[in-house]
Structure 1
Amino acid sequence: MTEQLRIASGAEHRWGWPVLKNLLRAAGALLLGAAVALLVSPLAAAHISAELDGAGPGDFGVITLGVPTESGKPATTKVEVRIPDDVQLRTVRAAQVAGWGIDITKRTIPPIYKDDGTPVTEVVDSVTWTAQGPGIPPGQFGQFALYVGPLPDAATLALPTVQTFSDGTTEDWAQAANEGEDPEFPAPTVTIGATAGAADGSSTLASVIPWAALGFSVIAVALGIFAIDRSAASRRSTDVAADA
């Protein structure tokens, strides 16, 4: 009877555990491959981003645009930021960027008034930075800042932006990013006021959750394989001891 149990245990070791272990190893390889694919595949273009320093409606603040040049594209040589027609910012000042020139255009509006009663009849329509050198090479990014205000009494502010490359081609980042949608060329948008942090946090959390799930899956498979290897090693040790 003991000999029969030992033979059955050996058969289980020869057929059950190796097959299961190979399946788990294959699953682990697939998960790792999926992780690598997510990291290197161009599922979404490198969007132009915009960040506000926390200023709220009626305040003055700094908006910083991050402009990347994707790998495989020509260098970025011009960045044109447009102020929407329905937004009237009395003050728009562009930060100097080393190696770039600045051009500002204005439009005429019905008078708006400063706190001291001074009328304002012109507001900035667009700000354009033009590279005086090589621009932003592929695989790198540049930052362009605007000091603006008073900020509108609105939840968000979109700044449509045209990105021009050294070969003359352009990308117009002007599409509205409605809830639940992922446009190809969304306009860089900031959230105004204290809700900015909450909105950014929600977005960050939403993007982190799938990666965390994938990471935990990979870890779980690795631990499973480790446990099976330990179990198999223990069985082999038991078989050797029994044979002795």
Structure 2
Amino acid sequence: MNVSRIAVVGGIALSSVVLLSGTAFAHVSVQPQGEAAKGGYATVNVKVPNERDNASTVKVEINFPTDHPLASVMPQPVPGWKAVVTKAKLAKPLELHGKKINEAVSKVTWTADGSKIGPGQFQQFPLSLGQLPEDADQLVLKAIQTYDNNEVVRWIEEPKEGAAEPQNPAPVLRLSAATEDHHGGGATKTDEKAGQEEEVKEEKGHSHAASDSDSSDTTARVLGVVGILVGVAGVAFGVLAGRRRSA
């Protein structure tokens, strides 16, 4: 009996640990695609899991820090969701590519428009961010998740280094060391190189086409002249032949 009770108690304890661990990790997070380098640009995915068994997520809001404002935040279209970018005026203007920026993105809101995040599912919302700050190691992007039963979960608690994870941690984007090209990765250069190679191919194609066209025109002209000469020769031969018969 004692062994059975211990086994039951142990099983319940283990199940509780597993359930609690699953809940702790099932929160809104932000993950870079490749590198998110200081002073550069990056593409990130906002990952939103659904934590409820009896409700679906219908709205997600990501708020950007005011102490490190971002001049450019562009959402990638997600089927079944409508994205709205909200900007706010800055107390201190930013300077980007030699221009002064007086406002920055304060939040991006996705609202279900024919789609939902159902129980046991998650959705990713891609964002293009820039220019990332050079004087920060991370960006805390506070999130608000709304369910179709009107429940609202605020993922706004900033995690502290060395401390236990809070109940509703805010998504954190870790920034890597600055790169020389300030693009946060090689995608831009690769795309540019691919575009240049494509242009070279097109120019060569046009050159070959023009060369083929010129060759065709020259051949046609030569054949035309030959045809005319053959025709003249035929006429002359006919005339001479007629004279010989008359004689």
Report how many residues are paired.
Answer: 172
Identity %: 34
1:165 and 2:147 are equivalent in the alignment: yes
Secondary structure in 1 matching 2:23: coil
Distance in 1, matches of 2:160 and 2:18, equals: 26
Distance in 2, matches of 1:81 and 1:135, equals: 17
How does 1:76-115 map onto structure 2 within 5 Å?
A: 76-109=57-90, 110-115=92-97
- Of the three residues 11, 25, 28, the one matched with 1:48 is 28
Aligned to 1:156: 138
Deviation readout 1:61-94 (Å, 9 max, x if unpaired): 0121110111424100000111111121111101
- Of the three residues 184, 189, 196, the one matched with 2:167 is 184
Distance in 1, matches of 2:151 and 2:14, equals: 33
Distance in 1, matches of 2:22 and 2:124, equals: 23
Aligned-partner residue type, residue 87 of structure 1: H
Q: By how many angstroms is 1:108 displaced?
A: 1.0
Secondary structure in 2 matching 1:44: helix
Aligned to 1:70: 51
Asked whether the equivalents of residues 75 and 134 of structure 1 are also in contact (C-alpha less than 8 Å), the reply is: no
Q: By how many angstroms is 1:192 displaced?
A: 0.5
Q: By how many angstroms is 1:26 displaced?
A: 9.2
How does 1:1-244 map onto structure 2 within 5 Å?
A: 35-41=14-20, 44-45=23-24, 46-53=26-33, 54-109=35-90, 110-115=92-97, 117-152=98-133, 153-179=135-161, 180-193=163-176
**TM-score, normalised with respect to structure 1:** 0.63
Q: Gaps (5+ residues) in structure 2? A: 179-247
Secondary structure in 2 matching 1:176: coil
Aligned to 2:228: none
Asked whether the equivalents of residues 161 and 187 of structure 1 are also in contact (C-alpha less than 8 Å), the reply is: yes
Q: Gaps (5+ residues) in structure 1? A: 1-21, 196-244
Distance in 2, matches of 1:49 and 1:108, equals: 27
Secondary structure in 1 matching 2:17: helix
Distance in 2, matches of 1:174 and 1:139, equals: 23
Distance in 1, matches of 2:82 and 2:93, equals: 30
User: Do the aligned partners of residues 28 and 52 (structure 1) sit closer, same or farther apart at CA in structure 2, a change above 3 Å counting?
Assistant: same
Q: CA RMSD in A?
A: 2.6
User: Do the aligned partners of residues 150 and 76 (structure 1) sit closer, same or farther apart at CA in structure 2, a change above 3 Å counting?
Assistant: same
Q: By how many angstroms is 1:37 displaced?
A: 4.3
Secondary structure in 1 matching 2:18: helix
